[in-house]
Structure formats: C-alpha cells, structure tokens
Amino acid sequence: MKGLKIIILGILLGFSLPAYGAETVKAILPSGDLSLNEVVAYALDHNPGLKASLNGIEIEGYAIQTAQSNRMPKVDFNSWMNRYRYQTPLTSINPSALTGGGSSGLFDDTHLGTEIALSLPLYKGGQLVRGVRVAEIKQEIARESLVQSQQELIFNLTSLYYKINQLEKTQESTQASVDRLLAHQKDVETFLKAGTVPKVDLLKTEVESARRQQDLLAINNSIESAYDLMRTLMGMEDIRSPLKIGIPADSREDLPEFEPALESALANRPEYLSLQKKETLYEQMRLIQEGRKKPFVYLSSIYDLKSGDDFDFKEDWTVSLKMNLPLYDAGNIKASMAIQEKEIERTRLQLQSLKLEIQREIQDAFLSIKNAEDRISVSEKAIASGEEDLRVQRLKYSAGAGTSTEVIDSQSALLIAQANYFQAVFDKEIAMASLRKAMGTLPHTGASR
C-alpha cells in the first residue's frame, strides 16, 4: 500500500503542468515630444486589444497541456457503499480460503469500498498525438493573429502620426496666412484713410481674414480629435493626458522590386501564414477523424479495499488490457472527414484569393508612392512661385500699381500650394507604410512568433 502511494505521488509530480506567461517590461511614456517609435512602443505595451490577443496565446498554451495530458496515465480515487438483496462476494474468490474453511466474511449484502484506478491509453489510431499537434497549430495561429493586430495598430498609429504632423504644418501655414492678411488689412486701412483705395478693398480683406481664421479653428479641432484618437490607440486611460509628437523624419529607404516584395509578403504576412497553418490544422483534424476507425487500446488497473458492515477490509486488484473497435456509427466518421476535406479546399481557395489581394496591395502602394513623389516635386515648385508672386503683388500694391484682390488671390494660391505639398508628403509616408504592411515587414514584438 505504501509503495502504491509513492508511485501515485511520483506520477502526479512527474506530469505537473508548467505555468504559461511571463512578466514583461512595460514601456513608460517619455516626456516632451514623442517620436513615432516611442508612440508605437507605448501602444504595444498598453493597447487592450493586444493584451486580449496575448491572453488568447496563453489560452492555447493551456490547450496544448490538455492535449498532452490525454496521452498520460490517469489516476482516480473512488469510494462507495452498496446494499444488495443477496449476499455477494466482496472480493475475487480465493480458493484457499474456501478449502481452508475461511469463507466467512467473503460474502455480504453490504459493501463498503475504496479504490485507486489507473488508466493508460496505449493506442488510439494516432488521435492523441495529432490532438497535441492540433493544439500547437492553434497556438501558432493565435500568434499570427497577434502579429496581424500589432501591424494593424502600428500602421494606424503611423498614419495618425503623419496626419497630425500634416495638420500641424497646415496650421502653421494657415496662421502665417492669417498674419499676412492682418498685415495687409492694416495697409489697406492706411490707404483707405489716404483716399487712395475704395472701401470695398477693406471689406474683401476683412472677409478673407475671417474665413482664414475659421479655417484655422477647424484645423485646431481636427488636431485635438487626432490626438484623442492617438491616446485611445495607445491605450492611455486618461484621454486628457498631455501628448505631443515630434517632427517625423522623411522616409528615404530604397524601394524593392515587385517580385521580391511579393516574396516577402508571402513569407511574412500574418494573414497568409495563418491560412497556411489552418490548412495544416484541418488536415490533422481529418486524420483524427480517420483515426476513429481504428481500435482504441488501453491499460486499466484497479487496487481496492472492500468490506462488509463489519469493516474488515480485504484488498483486491485487477489489471486489464482493453480494446474498443467501432463497427457501425451511421456514417458519423465519414461525414466528419468530409467536413475537414471541405475546410481544406476552402482554405486553399482563400489562400489564392489572398495572394491576389496582396499583389494588388503591393502594386497600389508602388503607384501611390510614385504619384506622391511627383506631386511633392510639383508642389515645391508651386510654393516657390507662390512666394515670389506674393512678394511681387505686395510690392505692386504698396506702390499703387496693384489691387488688393491680386494680393489676396496670391496669398490664397500660396496657401493652396503649401497644403498640397503637406498632403503629398503625408500620402507618400502612408504609401510607404502601406507597402511595408503589404510586405508584412512592419515591426512587431519579437515574442509574437
């Protein structure tokens, strides 16, 4: 009895389960203007959606433990009390007890018992091994899902970061335009007092100045809304916390050719890798269903103590080698295998569809980058021309050779050229980020895969 206890304790200790999850160092939000890397690092640590994905990986880790435990011995403790109409044997009949006149106590109508039962699966048609593999693949899919969530978060933060930068530059240029209009308004007022310009020039200037100030208020509101959204994506609990971004550096990386970009996408895109793993998953599940056709062989052993109402416990044990073989199940196994085969077929079609979509995303990103670069070049020339034209128009107006309308129109043209330039720079950066996202090369935490 003591030896059995030691064996049971050894089994329990030998198959104890490891803990999943480990503490990670949390990013602290630095003071001052934040770089894009600092924004992303903080968001990767604090975004609640990513934390939920991490929990999903841990859950699948415990599912692996569950699948592994199905291959291990099971030890159970049972106890009971039975009452029979007739006296029945308490234990297996011992012939020596009968011949020696020791049959007393072997039969009783009241049975008290306790037992330790051991069960060990020996063969189940590969279902147990493949069950572990299925759990491992599900965890791999969960990791790919986390990588996808991380890359989408990084892309959204990148877009938002450059959008705020665009809005702040537009804010600066609009404020400068307002200041120039106010300065021009003073010139018009001076000329009006001298009687050299009509009052309508002053009215036009005041209207244009008021319109630009309204534009400036709208831009300020857009900036505040963008910062609020950034705080939400970063996982900042207090949406009123101070937040200020720095000036991002322009992307100057060399663009890959289309074929290498596509190869990178097929090797790194988490959605594509996840579908590949799903195909493997359904194949393993099909083999599990096929394994149900095969015999299930397992070892069973019981050590028990039984007594009647006199509490004179007698020990007994049994060892059994058992087999279960399904003969008829009304087509259940066949239908289950057909389901997995259709899932495999559907996954392969989804892979083909995703590959076509990836090709389109890469091509669109290349075209967007080229378009934005062309617009940047044109806008830079338009700004230089607009600045010079405004300088000339202001000199002409001061000399009495020009009109207030020409000055206002020139300022409007310069502001539009500046806005077009800022938009083109933003579009280029987003197109670059879109290309990296399409290729699956946006950064993500190393522990994800």
What letters, b where the CB count within 10 A reaches 16 and e where it falls short, cover 265-280?
bbebbbbbbbbbbbbb
CB–CB of 286/338 below 8 Å?
A: no
Phi and psi based region of residue 444 (left: phi greater than 0; alpha: psi -120 to 50; beta: remaining): beta
H helix or E strand, kind and range, residue 318: strand 314-324
Q: Express each pLDDT in 299-342 by its tens digit.
A: 999 999 989 888 888 888 999 999 999 999 999 999 999 999 99
Q: Express each pLDDT in 114-145 by its tens digit.
A: 999 999 999 999 999 999 999 999 999 999 99
Give the pLDDT score at 2. Answer: 40
The CATH fold of domain 32-71+131-289+331-442? Outer membrane efflux proteins (OEP) (1.20.1600)
Give the pLDDT score at 301. Answer: 95
Q: What is the mean pLDDT of residues 424-444?
A: 90
Give the pLDDT score at 119. Answer: 95
Under DSSP, is residue 244 helix (H, G, I), strand (E, B) or coil? coil
Measure the CA–CA gap between 437 and 429, rounded to whole angstroms: 12
CB proximity list for 76: less than 8 A, separation 6 or greater: 116, 117, 119
Give the pLDDT score at 98. Answer: 53
What letters, b where the CB count within 10 A reaches 16 and e where it falls short, cover 141-154?
bbbbbbbbbbbebb
What amino acid is encoded at 385 in this protein? S
CB–CB of 65/83 below 8 Å?
A: no
**Pick from 139, 140, 216: nearest CA to 177:** 216
CB–CB of 324/119 below 8 Å?
A: no
**Pick from 66, 252, 247, 52: nearest CA to 164:** 247
Under DSSP, is residue 78 helix (H, G, I), strand (E, B) or coil? strand
CB–CB of 361/430 below 8 Å?
A: no
Q: Express each pLDDT in 25-70 by its tens digit.
A: 456 666 788 999 999 999 999 999 999 999 999 999 999 999 999 9
From first CA to last CA, the distance across the chain in angstroms is 48
H helix or E strand, kind and range, residue 65: helix 48-69
Measure the CA–CA gap between 9 and 178, rounded to whole angstroms: 83
What are the boundaries of each domain within the chain? Answer: 32-71+131-289+331-442
Q: At which residue do the structure tokens 């097929």 appear?
A: 266
> Does the structure show a pLDDT above 80 at 8?
no
Measure the CA–CA gap between 214 and 220, rounded to whole angstroms: 10
Which runs of consecutive H residues, i.e. helices, occur in 71-198? 95-99, 127-194
CB proximity list for 399: less than 8 A, separation 6 or greater: none
What amino acid is encoded at 263 in this protein? E
Measure the CA–CA gap between 214 and 219, rounded to whole angstroms: 9
